[in-house]
C-alpha cells in the first residue's frame, strides 16, 4: 500500500544531447519523446553546447533550449509530430558561408617543372614519385563513432495519506495512514505508519473495553503502468504494537503487546496529475498467532492473528 512518488524530480532522458523531462506528459507524447535522443544525436548541424528541457503543460509540451552564452528560447508544442521540427529549428547552427575561390595563374616556375616520374611498384601498379618539398597528403583520419546516448534516471518520491477500514480476528477498526516512498524505475521502496484509532472487538461491550494499534512497516513494490492507471503490487513486513484497556471494579487496566506481521498489498492510482486519488487493499498475517491464541489477560479476548483493510487516499507528487 505504498505511494510511488513518480515524476517528483526531473528525469534525464539522454546525456548526449543533454535532454531532461519534467512533469508527466500525456500518453500522446510517449512515442515522440522516446525517439528524441536518437533523432537529435543524428542531427549534423546541432549546437553541442545547447541543453534541452521538456516540461509537461497540460496536453501540451513546452520546449526550453538554453545555449552556452545563457540565451534561452521557449516554444509550446501542441502536437507530437511538431516536436522534432521545433527541436531541429532551435538546435541547428546556421550554415557557414563557403568562400568563393579566386582563379589564379600558375607561377612560371610551376609551369617549368617536369611532371612527376611514374614507376611501377612490386604489385604492378603505378604511382608518381615526388621529390623535393612536394609530399603526398597524409591519409584521412578515421572519425571516431559517436557513442550512443546513455539514458539516466533519478529516483522520484511520493507522499500519501489515506483512511482505511480494517477487520480481522473478530475486531474492526478505522485507521488513518501516512506513507512515503522512492521510485527507482519500476521498483518502489517506502515506509508507512498506521494508527488503528477506533478499534473494537465484537465479543466485548464498547463501554468497558478499548483497543488500539500502531503499525510501522517497510514496503517493496513493483509498479505496473496501465495507461491512465498505475498498479503497485508489493510485500511489507510490519511491526505492530497493540494495546487493550478494560475496566475491572471501576479501575482501568491496560495491557500491550508487540507483534511482527507479513503483509501483501495492491494499490490503484488514477490519473497523471500532481494530486492523484488511489484505492488500496492489503492483508497481513501474524506467524506467531497462526496456531495458538494469545491473551494479554485471562479476561481479555485473544489478539487478532490477521487483518485486512480497504483504504481510500490521495497521493501528491511534484510536477
Q: Give the CATH number of the domain where residue 31 resides.
A: 3.30.160
60 and 177 belong to one structural domain: no
In a domain, 132, yes or no: no
| Residues in contact with 230: Cβ distance below 8 Å, sequence separation at least 6, in sequence order | 4, 6, 223, 224, 268, 269
Residue 38 buriedness (CB in 10 A; 0-12 / 13-18 / 19+):
exposed
What pLDDT score was predicted for residue 195?
94
Its pTM stands at: 0.50
pLDDT at site 179: 96
**pLDDT beneath 50, residues of the chain:** 1-9, 152, 206
> Which residues span the domain enclosing 168?
156-316
CA distance 217 to 224: 22
CB atoms under 10 Å from CB of 109, counted, come to: 7
> Residues 177, 308: one domain?
yes
Is 6 inside a domain boundary?
no
Q: Is there a single domain that holds both residue 189 and residue 304?
A: yes
Q: Contact at 8 Å (CB) between 268 and 288?
A: no
CA distance 43 to 16: 12
| Distance of alpha carbon 298 from alpha carbon 301, whole angstroms | 8
Which residues are CB-neighbours of 213 under 8 A, at least 6 positions away? 173, 175, 194, 195, 196, 199, 240, 241, 242, 243
Domain termination residue (choose one: 91, 108, 128): 91
Residues 269-303 pLDDT 10s: 999 888 999 999 999 999 998 888 888 888 788 88
Cα dihedral 224, 317, 1, 310, rounded to 10, equals -110
Domain CATH for 221: 2.40.160.20
Distance of CA 104 to the CA centre of its chain: 64
User: 51-57 and 18-22 as β-strands: parallel, antiparallel, unpaired?
Assistant: parallel
In a domain, 1, yes or no: no
Is 103 inside a domain boundary? Answer: no
Q: Among all chains, which residue has been given the C-alpha cell 503483509?
A: 263
| C-alpha torsion 200→202→204→206, nearest 10 | 40
* CB-based contact 290:302 (threshold 8 Å): no
> Quick check: helix, strand or coil at residue 31?
helix
Instruction: Determine which helix (DSSP H) or strand (DSSP E) holds 185, and give its type and residue range.
Output: none
Q: 309 and 234 in one domain?
A: yes
Q: What angle do CA 219, 225, 227 make, to 5 degrees?
A: 145
Q: Are residues 277 and 185 in the same domain?
A: yes
**57 and 173 assigned to the same domain:** no
pLDDT at position 135, please? 60
312 shares its domain with 167: yes
> What whole-number distance in Å separates Cα of residue 32 and Cα of residue 40?
12
69 three-state secondary structure: coil
Whole-number pLDDT of residue 278: 97
End residue of a domain, out of 62, 91, 120: 91
Instruction: List beta partners, residue 281.
Output: 266, 310
Residues 293 and 160 occupy one common structural domain: yes
Given this model, what pLDDT does residue 125 score?
52
Q: Is 319 helix (H, G, I), strand (E, B) or coil?
A: coil
The domain total for the chain is: 2
Same-domain pairing of 181 and 77: no
Amino acid at each position: 500500500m505504498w505511494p510511488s512518488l513518480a515524476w517528483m524530480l526531473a528525469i534525464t532522458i539522454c546525456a548526449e544531447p543533454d535532454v531532461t523531462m519534467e512533469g508527466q506528459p500525456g500518453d500522446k507524447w510517449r512515442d515522440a519523446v522516446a525517439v528524441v535522443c536518437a533523432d537529435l544525436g543524428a542531427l549534423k548541424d546541432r549546437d553541442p553546447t545547447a541543453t534541452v528541457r521538456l516540461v509537461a503543460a497540460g496536453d501540451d509540451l513546452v520546449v526550453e533550449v538554453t545555449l552556452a552564452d545563457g540565451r534561452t528560447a521557449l516554444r509550446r508544442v501542441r502536437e507530437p509530430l511538431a516536436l522534432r521540427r521545433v527541436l531541429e529549428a532551435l538546435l541547428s547552427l546556421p550554415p557557414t558561408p563557403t568562400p568563393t575561390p579566386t582563379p589564379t595563374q600558375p607561377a612560371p616556375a610551376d609551369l617549368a617543372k617536369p611532371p612527376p616520374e611514374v614507376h611501377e611498384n612490386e604489385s604492378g601498379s603505378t604511382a608518381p614519385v615526388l621529390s623535393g618539398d612536394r609530399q603526398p597528403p597524409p591519409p584521412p583520419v578515421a572519425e571516431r563513432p559517436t557513442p550512443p546516448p546513455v539514458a539516466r534516471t533519478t529516483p522520484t518520491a511520493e507522499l500519501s495519506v489515506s483512511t482505511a477500514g480494517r477487520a480481522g480476528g473478530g475486531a474492526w477498526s478505522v485507521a488513518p495512514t501516512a506513507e512515503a516512498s522512492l521510485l527507482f524505475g519500476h521498483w518502489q521502496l517506502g515506509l508507512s505508519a498506521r494508527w488503528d484509532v477506533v478499534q473494537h472487538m465484537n465479543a466485548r461491550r464498547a463501554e468497558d473495553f478499548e483497543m488500539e494499534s500502531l503499525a510501522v512497516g517497510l514496503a517493496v513494490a513493483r509498479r505496473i503502468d496501465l495507461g491512465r492507471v498505475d498498479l503497485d503490487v508489493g510485500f511489507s513486513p510490519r511491526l505492530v504494537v497493540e494495546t487493550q484497556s478494560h475496566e475491572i471494579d471501576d479501575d482501568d487496566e491496560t495491557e500491550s503487546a508487540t507483534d511482527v506481521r507479513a503483509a501483501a498489498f495492491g494499490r490503484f492510482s488514477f490519473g497523471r496529475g500532481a494530486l492523484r486519488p488511489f484505492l488500496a487493499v492489503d492483508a497481513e498475517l501474524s506467524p506467531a498467532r497462526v496456531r495458538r491464541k494469545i491473551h494479554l489477560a485471562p479476561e481479555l479476548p485473544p489478539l487478532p492473528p490477521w487483518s485486512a483493510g480497504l483504504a481510500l487516499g490521495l497521493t501528491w507528487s511534484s510536477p
